[in-house]
Amino acid sequence: MLDPKDPEKLKQLGGPDQICKSLLVDPKVGLRQREQVDAHGNRQDEPFQTRREVFGKNILPEAQAVTFWQLLVAAYNDRTLIMLTIASVVSLAVGIYDDVLGSHKDDDVKVGWVEGAAISLAVLVVCFTNAINDYQKEKQFQKLNAKKEDRTVKALRDGNEVEIGVQEINVGDILLIEPGDIIPVDGIYLSGHKMTCDESSATGESDAIKKGTLDEERDPFILSGAKVLEGVGSMVVVAVGTRSFYGKIMMAMRQGQSSETPLQRKLDVLAEQIAKYGMSAATLLLITLTIKYLVQCALAPEFPPASIMFSHFVSIIIEAITVVVVAVPEGLPMAVTIALAYATTKMLRDGNLVRQLSACETMGGATVVCTDKTGTLTQNRMTVVRGFVAGRELKDLSEVQSFYKSLPEDTRELLLEGIAVNSTAFEGPDEQGHIEFIGSKSECALLGFGKTCGQDYRSLRADNTPVRVYPFSSEKKTMTTVIPIPGQDCRYRVHAKGASEIILRACTKYIDEDGKIRDLDQTAYNDFLRYISIFANRALRTFALAFKVIDEGEEQACSDDDAPLSDLVWVGVMGIQDPLRPGVRQAVTDCHRAGVIVRMITGDNIETARAIARDSGILTKGGQAITGPQWRKMSPEEQHAILPRLQVMARSSPMDKQIMVERLQERNEVVAMTGDGTNDSPALKLADVGFSMGIAGTEVAKEASDIILMDDDFKSIVKALRWGRAVNDSVRKFLQFQLTVNITAVFLTFISSVFSADGQSALTAVQLLWVNMIMDTLAALALATEGPTDEVLDRPPQQRNSALITFEMWRMIIGQAVFQVVINMLLLNHGLEIFHLPRSDEGLAVLRTMVFNAFVFLQVFNQINCRRIQPHEFNVFANLHNDTGFLLVQLFIVSAQWLIVTFGGIAFSTVSLTAEQWAGTLFIGVLSLPVGLFLRTLPDFSACFGLESAESSAQQHLPEVSTTRMRMESSIRDVQRAVKFFSAIRHSQQSKQNTKPIDIESNFLDEHLQSFQLPRAQRASTLPSGYTTVVPTAAASTSSSWTKVRTAVGNANGKRS
């Protein structure tokens, strides 16, 4: 009956009266407390227990809480982690065997178990980090919604008006409704006076809906979530809790599931590829060392015993497993988790509550932001910003008090009296408990103007009780109030306000600069019209105020339906606007600088939408603005054709938002969408990143969104964009570092093991484990916790299908890996001579320790190299002093390395080094920095290897039609119009002189316009097959002067014909 609204069904049920009888309630009495006693006279356990057992309670069941154990299992359900677990079990088993029965059974310190245990520890760290972060995220969201419905409503119980909590409402309750109430349940209208509801958050209907009975041919259905704008009334509750309109939507939203993000898909593929290469290298090493050992055994004078051979084979297997451990990127999921967890924590301070962790990195690749106007770009607070009263003009919001003081005293009193008395708005607490004006937003703006002037509207209303009130109606567009004049018996003052043109036509007099009343002549009339036009052209909502004095006879002759709108005295006109939030224009500029297109989708009219979009920088020269009905009438092909230049959509519906998201995603765009109403939830779900409003948003919208804007501010979206790009950069930095260490460690282990006489690797298994920790856990902490810089907005967004590793990254990875392998092999083969070490066991022990030390320092300084991965970023020390996490990690690595080298002994196969030897290995590590600088200066020859450069069209998403191009096209067309204009003037002059007209080619710039096309390869948006981009033949000009030009050209053409 209510979803959808079905008046016929209501009639079949007998109407509201029969429904009340069926629910055992008297509309004039309400529910009776005696229902708390059952048929046997026993008091029920809770009030209205039987009624609630039948119809339910007005509470939504708590969403099934995900336990920490479930989150932990979900975090472990990863192929990389499972593979690492298998590797750790094998390594642990082999290590324990080697310690107990193998080659290390006689060692004093048993360290064979360390590798497997450390791998298991790394897996546990990843799982617990993921689970803890998800658990905290859920707690944060529950805390946001913990403001349980503790508000009260008025109801009838036993004939008395009482206040009850919304959870105490039952089906059959009679609720008393007042302006400002948010309806918590579904109901049927019973009685009232001029009750109007805003159901836009529930149904998407932008117009206020008048409530009434079926006999009055009005809407009798009152939906949960609707807001009462004006009027009073009563309703009978017919649905509560999960059976209500609001409850059904909330329960449906709990079934949503998030999808994988582009970065997650790329990382899964990359991790799998790295693991395959690692397994291949380990298998090759195992086969090579096995064949080498068998050949050595065969060539030996005496074949070794089986126990020694088995122990040696176990050592070979350990080395192979070590290669797998080093090669498998167990730090990759940890780096992503740390980067996202760090970012979401910081984003909360910036006003962004991230509900879906993956939305943070997805936002970094956003190419389009579709934003609301009201409350997001603007302050959602209608304000008087311009005015013209008694010959004085209010030019700015900051001049209100000085403007008011400049008015004649009598005019000031009339102005404030008209604002205060002729209004239904009032001041009271909003949903958050803040004291705000409640009612019509325009009336709230006028009352706010009066409050700024220092006047209390309550005292004016108390001193002037209306005798007649003609409420505002959309048909008449005016509101009129008649009040008695204090101290003047039988005289009344009529205050009128409303649409400026209508009020002005009803005026015959006006108040001049001196506060005197004069006849309204044509000059004054035109002057007032001019100000009305000026305000309207700036997208201000204009309200005129007027008055007149009548006697008792005229008051008694007034009609009850038609207000006395004649012979009024003009007081002035006010321009009302929802002002932009501070910093919005800069935020939009930042989006454009970052290559992100901002589109405004609003339910406001096209003129207001254009003005706000122009003021905020969204609507640029050459951009287009259309209305929702125009958009819906277009075919998909036509919608795709206009999309590159579409910047504003006015009078839009929720379905328009959905279609917009679908069309943009068909063009391979990553779409961020804002919404605050229940009806916006499908579009928020469909978008790649859905932003809901923390203040103005409904709970349904919050449930459907990925990120909640705690302050409802557009600037917070830009902050989310910065953090998203920082997350993507952090993951790429870590990838570059880890792949460098992976390749170096695997190749160094393989080469040194194969070519050494005893088959030993340059680094022992335990040393490799420490290196593995550096390149995984510690590197993730160091490289994934750098905050965003201003430079992240100086480049276009990445393509949805862009390569995870660019040519510049591969250049650094391969270059550093080759350098490190060469330098370590050089130390292994010639280190004794270079450092003047003796050819003895002690000398070899020192050399191996120095190789290990140099390898670690190479990684330390290569981490500094990896702080910057974009082309032309040569200063790797930029902002290093603010990167506290990075510095602390490096300090920990160096300190731990000193402890390992100095006291590691048998466990790490190290000996103490002298100060000169420390300095030598440190110098070798520092060499990584100049090598990195040299690699950055190499030319871009990515095409030779089939790789993608970071600045290539395959990596960067370039808008199909940039704002620069739109401005250029618009400028060219402006010049064309100018040429046509002067051609028409010349032709007109020549016609007057009866001379042969000179034909001027006015379209000579068409060739330039047609040639001004971006190369197809540089277009980032990809149309579906069958769609083509159509360049509009006439771009809209934002210059009002061209209206006169077109008129002149049209007149000239008329004369020519």
3-state secondary structure of 2: strand
Write out the catalytic residue numbers: 372
CA 237 to chain centre: 37
CA 126 to chain centre: 27
Distance CA 932, CA 809 (A): 11
What phi and psi values does residue 4 have, to the nearest 5 degrees?
A: -85, 170
**In this structure, what is the dihedral angle of CA atoms 968, 973, 975, 976, given to the nearest 10 degrees?**
150
**Among 806, 810, 815, residue whose Cα is nearest residue 951:** 806
Give CA angle at 834 (828, 837), nearest 5°.
80
Give CA angle at 658 (653, 660), nearest 5°.
95
Give CA angle at 1001 (998, 1007), nearest 5°.
170
**Among 699, 705, 677, residue whose Cα is nearest residue 202:** 677
Residue whose token pair is 């026993």: 42
Output the 3-class SS for 768-832. Answer: HHHHHHHHHHHHHHHHCCCCCCHHHHCCCCECCCCCCCCHHHHHHHHHHHHHHHHHHHHHHHHHH
Determine the straight-line distance between the first and last CA of the chain, rounded to whole angstroms. 63
Kindly tell me the burial class for residue 47, based on how many C-beta atoms sit within 10 Å of its own C-beta (0-12, 13-18, 19 or more). middle
**Among 423, 495, 682, 620, residue whose Cα is nearest residue 1035:** 620
How many residues in total does the chain contain? 1057
**Among 864, 888, 898, residue whose Cα is nearest residue 878:** 864
3-state secondary structure of 188: strand
Distance CA 466, CA 259 (A): 60
Residue whose token pair is 């094998």: 90
String of DSSP letters for 219-268: B-EE-TT-EEEEEEEEEEEEE-GGGSHHHHHHHHHTT--PPPPHHHHHHH
Please list, in sequence order, all residues whose beta carbon lies within 8 angstroms of the beta carbon of residue 556, skipping any fewer than 6 positions away.
none
Measured over the CA atoms of residue 632, residue 637, residue 640 and residue 641, the dihedral's sign is: negative
364: left (phi over 0), alpha (psi -120 to 50) or beta: alpha
Residue whose token pair is 């939305």: 359
Please list, in sequence order, all residues whose beta carbon lies within 8 angstroms of the beta carbon of residue 712, skipping any fewer than 6 positions away.
375, 376, 380, 676, 693, 694, 695, 696, 697
Kindly tell me the burial class for residue 595, based on how many C-beta atoms sit within 10 Å of its own C-beta (0-12, 13-18, 19 or more). buried
Which helix (H) or strand (E) is 481 found in, with range?
Answer: strand 478-484
Distance CA 914, CA 1041 (A): 82
Please list, in sequence order, all residues whose beta carbon lies within 8 angstroms of the beta carbon of residue 1034, skipping any fewer than 6 positions away.
973
CB 540 within 8 A of CB 386: yes
Strands (E), 174-226: 174-177, 186-198, 209-210, 221-222
In the chain, the amino acid numbered 257 is Q
Distance CA 596, CA 368 (A): 5
- β-sheet bridge partners, residue 389: 392, 572
Distance CA 162, CA 82 (A): 61
